[in-house]
Amino acid sequence: MVQRRVRMKDVAAHAGVSPRTVSNVVNNYAYVSDEMRARVQASLDELGYQMDYLARGLRSGRTGFIALVVPSLAEPYFAALAESVIRAAREHHLSVLVETTGNAAEIEREVLQGSLTRMVDGVLLNAVAGEEVEDLPAVLLGESPPLANAPHVGIDNVAAARTVVQHLIDCGHRRILAYGNQDTETARLRLEGYRQAMTAARLGRVLSLDYSGGPWSAEGAYRDIAKLLRRRARPPEAIFAFNDSLAHGALRALRERGLAVPGDVAIAGIDDIVMSAFSEPPLTTVAPDLDELAHRAVGLLVDRIGGHRVPHEFTRTLTPFRLIVRASTAG
> Element (H or E) spanning 138, and its range?
strand 138-141
Q: How sure is the predictor about 180, in pLDDT bands with cuts at 50, 70 and 90?
A: very high
Tell whether the model's pLDDT for residue 53 goes beyond 80: no
Tell whether the model's pLDDT for residue 114 goes beyond 50: yes
Q: Which residue has the higher pLDDT, 216 or 314?
A: 216
> Element (H or E) spanning 154, and its range?
strand 152-154
The least confident of 121-130, 297-306, 309-318 is: 309-318
Strand partners, 124: 68, 139
Q: Is 31 exposed, middle or buried (0-12, 13-18, 19+ CB in 10 A)?
A: exposed
The 3-state DSSP class for residue 103 equals coil
Cα 10 to the center of its chain, rounded Å: 40
C-alpha to C-alpha distance for 141 and 152, rounded to whole angstroms:
6
E strands present in 6-114: 65-70, 95-100
- 3-state helix/strand/coil string of 50-78: CCCHHHHHHHHCCCCEEEEEECCCCCHHH
157 and 319 in contact (C-beta within 8 Å)?
no
Sheet containing strand 238-241, edge to edge, reads: 207-210, 176-181, 238-241, 266-270, 284-288, 321-324
Contacts of 199 (CB under 8 A, 6+ apart): none
The answer, as to whether pTM is greater than 0.95, is no
**For residue 176, which of 220, 242, 272, 221 has the smallest C-alpha distance?**
242
C-alpha to C-alpha distance for 192 and 200, rounded to whole angstroms:
12
**For residue 80, which of 316, 285, 249 has the smallest C-alpha distance?**
285
Burial 219-244 (b: 16+ CB within 10 A, else e): ebbbebbbebbeeeeebbbbbbbbbb
Residue 142 is classified by DSSP as S
Q: How sure is the predictor about 147, in pLDDT bands with cuts at 50, 70 and 90?
A: low
pLDDT > 70 in the chain, percent: 89
Q: How sure is the predictor about 148, in pLDDT bands with cuts at 50, 70 and 90?
A: low
